[in-house]
Amino acid sequence: MVAVVHPQKPRMLAIDSGANYLLGLPLLVVPRGAAKWLGIPDEGTAFYGRVLGGVLTGVATALAIEHRRQSEGDPVGLGAAGAIAINGLGGAAVALWLLLSPDAAALPRRGRVLLWGVSSGVLAIGAIEAYGELH
């Protein structure tokens, strides 16, 4: 039995998965180097960057599994509702940190630009996914 899927849902899950891999894998593999290159804080340790990279890579993999699901008997990954929650909360948390934290002002310009782009991007992806779920 083939699941009925909104035609835009697989595309948005694939885009969301790709964005999470793009951010997560470098942080997972070379956390301090990726943080320095991206201009974001590394807190003097690879721990937080590596954990964040692992979480983002896990979310990306769950989205990819859901994107490839063809029927109800296939493994279930992270669906659109979960992705909407992650994108909304994650994007809002980064935006609030940028707006309210004195540490944000100390970041290099490229770091602030990157984080505003990530925040805006994941909020936009979440909004598009939410719109797709409602229509």
pLDDT tens per residue across span 107-124: 889 989 998 998 999 899
Structurally, the chain folds into a number of domains equal to 1
For residue 30, being part of any structural domain is answered with: yes
For residue 81, being part of any structural domain is answered with: yes
Look at 15-24, 57-66, 76-85, 118-127 and tell me which has the smallest mean pLDDT.
76-85
The 10s digit of each residue's pLDDT in 34-48 is 988 888 887 777 878
Domain, as residue range, for 35:
8-134
Q: What is the pLDDT of residue 107?
A: 85
Helices 8-29 and 109-134: angle between axes, nearest 10 degrees: 150
For residue 82, being part of any structural domain is answered with: yes
The contacts of residue 71 (CB under 8 Å, 6+ apart) are: 1, 2, 3
For residue 46, being part of any structural domain is answered with: yes
* pTM (whole model) above 0.85: no
For residue 130, being part of any structural domain is answered with: yes
> Which pLDDT band holds residue 5 (cuts at 50, 70, 90)?
very low
For residue 124, being part of any structural domain is answered with: yes
Q: What is the pLDDT of residue 3?
A: 41
